[in-house]
Amino acid sequence: MTVRVTLVSAAMGSALREARFDDGGPLEPAGLRQAEQAAGALPAAARAYASPSPRCAATAAALGLRAEPAPALAGCAMGRWTGLTLAEVAAAEGAAVARWLSDPAAAPHGGESLLDLFARVAGWLDALPGDVASGRGPVVAVVEPDVVRAAALHALGVPGPAFWRLDVPPLSVTELTGRSGRWNVRWGRPAGG
C-alpha cells in the first residue's frame, strides 16, 4: 500500500524572517493572508496534523485544515538559544554554533540534537503505513521547515549534514510517497499553486 504524505511548511512568522530560533511567535499578517489564499489548494487528505507551534497551528487553521497536534512533528528544541537570532548566538557562542552546524549529534544549546530530530520525524513517518493500512488514507501535515528537511533526508536516505543544504520556503509543499520503506520526494511547490 502506498503512503502519501503532504508536508506544508508554516507561513511566515517573525522568527523565520529574523533568522531567530523560534520562540512560539504568531504568524505575520502577510503570512496569514497568504495561507488563507492557499486554502483549498492542497490535495485531499483523510488526516491532518500540525506541529504544536502556534505558527503551524495558525497556518493549518488558515488553510482550512482540522489538524491534530502532533508532538513528533515539533521543530527542533533549541534550549537556551530559543528566541535569539543566529547572529546573537554566533557572537556569544561562535565555537558552539560551529559545532552545531558541523556535527548533527551536537546540542550545545542544551536542547535537541539534529540526530534526535531526525529520529523523531523518521519514527513518525515510519508509523504511517499502519495508519494508511487501517483505512486512514493520505496525510497532510503543517510543520516547521526543519521538520520538512528531516523528513526529506529520511525519505531519501541522505546523511545528516545535507540538512543545511535544503531550503524550505514558507507555505511550500513537499510530497512524500512510499511503500515498503522506499520513499519518493516531490519538492517545494507553493501551497497555492
Angle between helices 29-38 and 54-62 (to 10 degrees): 40
DSSP 3-state of 48:
strand
Ranges of residues in the chain whose predicted pLDDT is under 50: 132-133
Question: Looking at residue 5, what is its pLDDT?
Answer: 93
pLDDT in tens, 9-24: 999 998 888 889 987 8
- Give the pLDDT confidence score for residue 133 in this predicted structure: 46
Composition of the chain by helix, strand, coil, percent to 5:
45, 20, 35
Instruction: Work out the burial of residue 117: count CB atoms within 10 Å of its CB; fewer than 13 is exposed, 13-18 middle, 19 or more buried.
Output: buried
- pTM exceeds 0.85 for this model: yes
pLDDT at 136: 60
